[in-house]
Structure 1
Amino acid sequence: MAELGKNLSDDKVKAACHLAFKAHKSHDKAFLEEKRGSDVIIFAFAGSWSADEWFTAAGGQAFGETKIDLEQFHCLRSISNDELAKVNQAFLLKFLEIKSTLETKVMNTLNDGKRQIIFTGHSAGGPLAIFATTWLFEHLRSKRRVQPSSTTHNCLTFGSPLSTDHIFCHAVRREDWSDHFVHFVMRHDIVPRIPLAPPSSTMGGALHEILSVFNPNAQNLPDVNSMLASEFFVNLMRHASCAATHAACTLMGSASMLRDTISGFIELSPYRPFGTFLFCSTNGRLLVVKNPDAVLQILFYSLQLKSEMEVPDAAKTSLSAHMAYKDEINKNLGRQGVVCLDTSVEIPLNSGDSMDPHIILTDETLNDFGLSARARLCLRAATESEKQKVANLSKIEQNKKIMKDAMTKLENYRFACEARGGYYDSFRKNQCIEDFQANVKRLELAGVWDEIVEMLKRYELPEKFEGQKEWVDLGTEYRRFVEPLDIANYYRHLKNEDTGPYLERGRPRRYRYTQRWLEQFGQKPSGSCGESTFWADLEELRMKTSNREPFAALKPKIDEMEKNLKRWLSEGTVKRDAFLEGSTLVKVWAELHRLNPAQVQDITGFISSSSSSEL
């Protein structure tokens, strides 16, 4: 199917679905594997039918969520805001239990050569397939074996419950992995929506009984108490309504009391969609959606009922739909007239508004999913939100020339400062007109970068922005040029006496953000790219030395600075004007060496060892 990417043919999808249901019936095995020809291998994960294995009470989180461990999944965070992704803890623990066995199989497959790997799962097997695929992409990224956009591997889920949050979605889109995750959802299937309600509202026997319906040991789909199923359905959709309404209010920029009431009195599920969703209607229509905000609205509105009288039948249908994927995919995959909702598609609000064949097809498909005018307004808001992100990026792209011109002037200023004691020290003294002009450029650049930071803080830029090399390079150049000036200004005005040390209380987010970009892009340890901040450490050392603090307390920081300066000298990320005679660095280090010659190396010693480098 072209809508799902060049690496996924209809035959591969059908094969994955077949094996996913086979794994569903093989609950005694953690996963099944099957080779398809010479170029494809499919790993299908078994699900679980115990409510305790869907939600865990460990950690005390209302929805059984947990923050991701960066040691396991290094990329699953917002780089700028340094927020970790949250996932369903029960499903994650299940994956970690089988990870070592799976890893051996996958590594053997990778070593075989150019074989495409497809991870798949039905129901609770879906989250395991998601974690397995993410783990594989993390591994490939760390080994630099392939670029994210060029990998051929995929994840296919069928009726998978939501198990990841918006940060997970943000990270996967940033890494350009999103298109490799495809989730099939039947319009009436209740299972993908289950995590939108807290376990406390569904665990009182209801969820246990609902999940028992899908137990592979059952010969046929067993009946479930009609009243219990109806109550489960109504309760779940009430929580789904809260999540969708709150999200829609946010998309539309609403400051209404409704949104505040929802978030203030009702704990909302953290779980959100990501990747590509392919919705299947009861009439065989297919709707492809990649916008996660639009997916959430469809998950809610496509199960809206016209009256309470429909609840019992809808509840029963919502269970039977969960087992209908094989038949629907075999029957309808590959048919013509698939509708893809993306930013280029106009979403009609009313039938008969247009004579355009594509709009008519879109309208008919949305009707088939029961999407009302209100639902379509929410879909439009989701689409406009994506467009606004692109518009915001275009706006800051226009500032590039201003930024580069200001950086060129600061570079000329730094060159001129070599005759006046160095870049940092000249600016700290602030005695010449050139220092004033440099300060104007510093403030000008701060305004531009603070605007970018505010957009990033509110997730108002495309997810790929943080990982674009051009912006990583520009942010790194800005940080290395300008942060020393901010530090000089901070200590010249004695802000440390009121606020505290620069690194603890005074460092602006624009430098923290751009440092994290570089560390993530270069796969470097957190905090390892602090070459623009050593002046702040130096200022603190100078004050502590003047206050005659015990040398033993200062020794760890001195050793750390010495080690880092040697590395930054060899890398060329610290410039030679920092080591001019009479500079703050040279004077502070000389005093430390004079007081403790046996434990502090003469600065000329490690400067000379890097003399061949560009300082």
Structure 2
Amino acid sequence: AYNSKDFYMNEFKRNILIVAFCGSQKSTDFVTETDFDECEINNANQYFKSIKDSNVEDPKTAVIQKSFLDQFLYMLQRSNLTEKVLQAQNKKKTVIFTGHSFGGAIASLWTLWLLEKRHEKYPLCITFGCPLFGDKIFAKAIEHAQWSPYFCHIVSSHDIVPRICFSSFKSAPISKALEKLLPYWYKSMQNRAENQQPVQDGSHPLSKDVSLSFIKQVISDASQVVTYETRTLVVGPANLVGGLTACYSKIVKSDKSSTDEVRMALQLEAMGIGIQPIRQVQGTLYGYKMYLVPVQHRNVPRNDQGTAREVQVLRCFLLSNPALSDRSMKQHHLPQPHQGPVILNIPPRNAQAWLGLKAAEDDKNNLTKNMDQQITKLDEMQNYMAELEWYKTSCEEGGFPGYYDCFKTHKTEKDMNANKNRYKLATFCDDITELVEREELPKDLQTQEKWVNVGTEYRLLVEPLDIAHYYRLGKHED
């Protein structure tokens, strides 16, 4: 895509369509009316109806970078790509969207657009150095729709682009640097793709001072975002830190980690977002905080495989030292230098990462424990639903006025028993809702077929009784 204005398309073998988007060459593509170039994803379009908050009462729409959305809409409405992609889908071809740098964001939006159409053949998205261009609602909506496995984001630990959307494109250090850097980056990639001589160091468009100012600004802005997120979070598995550590835990403890979990971990690690324990007086451990790690301060040794080697080393250590891990966590202190990390050539100062991984295992175990408890309760609740089903049938037979009216008049003992069952089921439902909101149950609970069926049965049986109970007590007259 380096020599294409917008995109490059290639039909590979007959059953695969590859669409590649190039990065931008102009800084003006990212300078808009707002400081951070943001807007709702459904701004001036109705293509992303699923990308919103799961809160039914007051759903909020996801916010993304406006410049990327504008470019996507322009291409969708004014190019022949839309027709080509839909034709490929109708022929049941695999469509792969890819892009580097800012082109990765465009590729992601095209993928979401096609996923919204719910075709039998889902597309794939592979990006390189794509910036983080959406908010938490954007990320959660994709996860809730179970679309995460169709995205693969690859970044380099030295790449500044994934962090850049944390900065204002209108700030002088950013806008001036991008004005010269974007054409330079584009030319460098073009030369490499065409096997030409690389751009010489002496031809770099920015002076050392300007480059340093640009990098410092981006790192500082990203650090402020991390700091703000940390202050607004509650320690535990319900927050972003807990999600990150749980993700690392699954990678370390299992060879069957889901691809989206691995991608998330590597994306954040490459951005330099780490975890460290927070301590109170006398060394008491009471949680974890996120921090931004400058590239030059990362101490875990690397080879050509980079992060993959670190993950393998940590996995081997935890699997071979379970007793040591448990004892260290119970005592709430880091292991002694000779007890693991140093033996595995991991410097002592990185032992905090090891401790975070062990704590993440506990978070994961808590999720499993909570789920097992709710499944046990569900078996009991289904007995109450069966009793309500019998009550409903008895109210609709033998000349009785019906399910709703019988319960509203509340004249017999079976009506009172039905009310007790209604209350128990409502309490169980409230408990489940609270656990889900605190993220103390698996994230895919709301999409699991068993729980979807239970929820549907609950609404059909209990909600009519809730309404009848409301009017029976005369609350509508308040």
One fold, TM greater than 0.5? yes
Amino acid at match of 1:162: L
Give the whole-Å Cα distance in 2 for the aligned partners of 1:448 and 1:181: 36
Change (3 A) 1:67 1:118: closer
In our comparison, the structure showing a higher alpha carbon Rg is: 1
Q: Answer yes or no: is the 8 Å Cα contact 1:155–1:182 preserved in 2.
A: yes
Q: Answer yes or no: is the 8 Å Cα contact 1:65–1:87 preserved in 2.
A: yes
SS in 1 for 2:431: helix
Count of residue pairs the alignment pairs up? 407
Q: Answer yes or no: is the 8 Å Cα contact 1:77–1:85 preserved in 2.
A: yes
1:154 Cα deviation from its structure 2 partner: 1.8
Change (3 A) 1:425 1:288: closer
Give the unaligned 5+ runs of structure 2: 192-198, 249-258, 275-291, 320-324, 326-333
1:371 Cα deviation from its structure 2 partner: 9.0
SS in 2 for 1:463: coil
The equivalent residue for 2:380 is: 402
1:451 Cα deviation from its structure 2 partner: 1.5
1:243 Cα deviation from its structure 2 partner: 3.0
Please state if 1:429 is matched with 2:405. no
The equivalent residue for 1:588 is: none
Give the whole-Å Cα distance in 2 for the aligned partners of 1:137 and 1:383: 33
Q: Answer yes or no: is the 8 Å Cα contact 1:288–1:338 preserved in 2.
A: no
Give the whole-Å Cα distance in 2 for the aligned partners of 1:295 and 1:249: 22
Give the whole-Å Cα distance in 2 for the aligned partners of 1:175 and 1:343: 30
Change (3 A) 1:125 1:471: same
Q: 2:94 aligns with which of 116, 131, 138?
A: 116
Please state if 1:188 is matched with 2:158. yes
Give the whole-Å Cα distance in 1 for the aligned partners of 2:212 and 2:433: 47
Give the whole-Å Cα distance in 2 for the aligned partners of 1:343 and 1:490: 55
Please state if 1:222 is matched with 2:204. yes
The equivalent residue for 1:283 is: none
Please state if 1:393 is matched with 2:374. no
1:448 Cα deviation from its structure 2 partner: 0.9
Change (3 A) 1:400 1:376: same
Please state if 1:296 is matched with 2:285. no
The equivalent residue for 1:93 is: 70
The equivalent residue for 1:481 is: 461
Give the whole-Å Cα distance in 1 for the aligned partners of 2:36 and 2:430: 35
SS in 2 for 1:216: helix
Q: Deviations over 1:529-567 (max 9, x none)?
A: xxxxxxxxxxxxxxxxxxxxxxxxxxxxxxxxxxxxxxx
Q: 1:177 aligns with which of 147, 150, 157?
A: 147
Give the whole-Å Cα distance in 2 for the aligned partners of 1:437 and 1:423: 14
Change (3 A) 1:413 1:174: same
Work out the percentage of aligned pairs sharing the same amino acid. Answer: 30
Q: Deviations over 1:218-253 (max 9, x none)?
A: 973623132222222222222322333454566661
The equivalent residue for 1:236 is: 218
Amino acid at match of 2:446: E
Scaled by the length of structure 2, the TM-score of the pair is 0.72
SS in 2 for 1:176: coil
Q: Answer yes or no: is the 8 Å Cα contact 1:157–1:183 preserved in 2.
A: yes
Amino acid at match of 1:423: Y
SS in 2 for 1:224: coil
Give the unaligned 5+ runs of structure 1: 1-22, 260-271, 277-286, 315-330, 499-615
Q: 1:472 aligns with which of 439, 446, 452?
A: 452
The equivalent residue for 2:253 is: none
Q: Answer yes or no: is the 8 Å Cα contact 1:289–1:295 preserved in 2.
A: no
Please state if 1:208 is matched with 2:203. no
SS in 2 for 1:49: coil
Q: Deviations over 1:363-389 (max 9, x none)?
A: 76xx7xx99455666666666655544
Q: Deviations over 1:301-327 (max 9, x none)?
A: 477349xxx79xx9xxxxxxxxxxxxx
The equivalent residue for 2:196 is: none
The equivalent residue for 2:85 is: 106
The equivalent residue for 2:50 is: 75
SS in 1 for 2:391: helix
1:475 Cα deviation from its structure 2 partner: 0.7
Change (3 A) 1:459 1:381: same
Amino acid at match of 1:99: L
1:91 Cα deviation from its structure 2 partner: 0.5
Amino acid at match of 1:90: S
Q: Answer yes or no: is the 8 Å Cα contact 1:45–1:125 preserved in 2.
A: yes
Change (3 A) 1:290 1:411: same
Q: 2:13 aligns with which of 37, 52, 69?
A: 37
Q: Answer yes or no: is the 8 Å Cα contact 1:77–1:84 preserved in 2.
A: yes
Q: Answer yes or no: is the 8 Å Cα contact 1:442–1:485 preserved in 2.
A: yes
Q: Answer yes or no: is the 8 Å Cα contact 2:181–2:205 preserved in 1.
A: no
The equivalent residue for 2:393 is: 415
Give the whole-Å Cα distance in 1 for the aligned partners of 2:47 and 2:151: 19
The equivalent residue for 1:546 is: none
Change (3 A) 1:433 1:298: farther
Q: Answer yes or no: is the 8 Å Cα contact 1:427–1:435 preserved in 2.
A: yes
Amino acid at match of 1:75: S
Give the whole-Å Cα distance in 2 for the aligned partners of 1:335 and 1:242: 25
**Mapping 1:579-590, distance limit 5 Å:** none
Give the whole-Å Cα distance in 2 for the aligned partners of 1:487 and 1:56: 50
1:289 Cα deviation from its structure 2 partner: 5.3
Q: Answer yes or no: is the 8 Å Cα contact 1:31–1:44 preserved in 2.
A: yes
Q: Deviations over 1:76-135 (max 9, x none)?
A: 23434534332222101111111242221112223444x332211010000111111122
SS in 1 for 2:416: helix
Give the whole-Å Cα distance in 2 for the aligned partners of 1:440 and 1:343: 50
Give the whole-Å Cα distance in 2 for the aligned partners of 1:72 and 1:341: 44
Q: Answer yes or no: is the 8 Å Cα contact 1:403–1:445 preserved in 2.
A: yes
The equivalent residue for 1:84 is: 61
**Mapping 1:519-598, distance limit 5 Å:** none
SS in 1 for 2:24: coil
Scaled by the length of structure 1, the TM-score of the pair is 0.57
The equivalent residue for 1:134 is: 112
Amino acid at match of 1:229: S
Give the whole-Å Cα distance in 2 for the aligned partners of 1:200 and 1:381: 41
Q: Answer yes or no: is the 8 Å Cα contact 1:55–1:64 preserved in 2.
A: no
Q: Answer yes or no: is the 8 Å Cα contact 1:291–1:383 preserved in 2.
A: no
Amino acid at match of 1:128: I
